[in-house]
Chain A
């Protein structure tokens, strides 16, 4: 058979077996050994996998919202590709979370059946984008943090986390490059694009601080050699952001702020309150505290799965 047209092979069957891959994904870890590392609280590991998995899942959803609205067709493809990479990372991490908690919850149950207060992502991931500058600023911050974290997680004592990280690094490297190149293009562009890029960076600087505030789960698992204490990522993050912002003719110290309060996420219009945080510290997205933006996301993302339980095509 000749393959002059690669797409023919996808569509020339007389049934729909190749038309699309469908929803029947069974298990992204099929055949992968699932033992947990010794001496680690399975509930902590599950919570940590949800933190990293939900960051990816919710940001992927926000990226998908831009498809059909991007400034150029090439950026549609780029955003869809990045969203797909993050969705793939989320599948692995949500599956691992279900294995760790021993509940039998699979990736679909995790994505489609949890309530808002059970999601563990940072508020920056769920934030709605006022314009394209906000999107690339958020993508730059989240992928810079994630790349630094995954780079360290390749040495995790959890073999699954280490494998997901090693694979993810290659992907997040070009996510970060894509975002950084757009920040430079807009910041070092016209007067208008510079002003809007500067406004976007300022708007997300305070919420970005949440990424570096260690949660008790992160501290315990970092001590056990499984996770990364996010406060240790600050220096690498600042160096990368400084490089990008300087090239973009923006203030290189915008993200230096250590300030973070839940109100920075727009929590004035908050959801029903989350489960709170230990020790009286203010609760964060890592505790399940979220804004009305997550309600909008879940309403769309979960509606079909909740309306047709177990549905597949």
Chain B
């Protein structure tokens, strides 16, 4: 990724917006067959929330950023669109990429003034993954998270033995599964194994 492209994307003034590279446009609109994000011929801009709602997450590309709960708000003020996003984890390396994807999708749809803002509070929780998002995770073989733990008053409790969160095997449906590792390929996933069919699978952890 070249630095010039990266640096010019987030927060650059609209009138100096660079040409959007083709690769970014492709990645921002995977459902190109019935593309709701394309500018309409009559000059009427498509609904900004709909455009942003079609942008997918770079690490879980079966989900849109809206389904993942990363997009917190899309506001349209005349020609300007203000999108508010929040990171899933503090170390999420994809935030700049996400900002650039949202910006590129809106520019492609014909918007000229785009402002993508970050909020850190309230902190992201897996409870914000939508029902359709959870269905898509399950369809991709990733067990969706259950409700995030509710913390009682007092110090954060220590967990000395691995939690026995139930999860049915997404391949054979068997309930007898075990955690292989609490840390998976991304921060949000754990690695599990089905004791019946012996196949490994992933589950999104509740936070």
Contacts and interface: CB of A to CB of B under 8 A. Distances in A.
Interface SS of chain A: helix, strand, loop or mixed? helix
Interface string A209-246: 00000000000000000000000000010011001100
B89 to A, nearest CB: 6
A3 B155 contact: no
Interface string B152-187: 000110111110000000000000000011111101
Nearest to A237: B155
Given A88-B92, A163-B123, A148 B155 contact: yes
Contacts of A160: 120
Contacts of B162: 181
Given A3-B61, A21-B96, A243-B158, A89 B90 contact: yes
B1 A16 contact: yes
A31 interface: yes
Given A26-B6, A32-B119, A171-B89, A151 B97 contact: no
A307 interface: no
Contacts of A169: 156
Interface in A143-189: 147-148, 151, 159-160, 162-164, 166-171, 173-174, 176-178, 180-181, 184
B99 interface: yes
Contacts of B11: 26-27, 30-31
B85 to A, nearest CB: 9
B140 interface: yes
Contacts of A22: 1, 3, 6
Name, among B10, B99, B160, the residue most crowded by chain A CB atoms within 10 Å (CB to CB).
Answer: B160
B1 A78 contact: no
A30 B1 contact: no
Interface in B10-68: 10-11, 21, 23-24, 26-27, 30-31, 58-62
A240 B159 CA distance: 10
A74 B118 contact: no
A244 B158 contact: yes
A124 interface: no
A86 interface: yes
A302 B23 CA distance: 32
B7 A170 contact: no
A177 B23 contact: no
A103 interface: no
B116 interface: yes
A306 interface: no
Name, among A80, A163, A178, the residue most crowded by chain B CB atoms within 10 Å (CB to CB).
Answer: A163
A312 interface: yes
A16 B11 CA distance: 23
Contact of A84 (B23, B93, B116, B180): B93
A284 to B, nearest CB: 26
B1 A77 contact: no
B122 interface: yes
B91 A86 contact: yes
A31 B11 CA distance: 8
Contacts of A240: 155, 158
B166 to A, nearest CB: 19
15 contacts: A9-B61, A10-B59, A19-B1, A24-B2, A85-B90, A87-B91, A92-B120, A163-B120, A166-B120, A166-B121, A167-B120, A167-B123, A167-B124, A171-B89, A236-B155
Interface of A: 1, 3, 6, 9-10, 13-32, 74, 77-78, 80-82, 84-89, 91-92, 147-148, 151, 159-160, 162-164, 166-171, 173-174, 176-178, 180-181, 184, 236, 239-240, 243-244, 247, 312-313
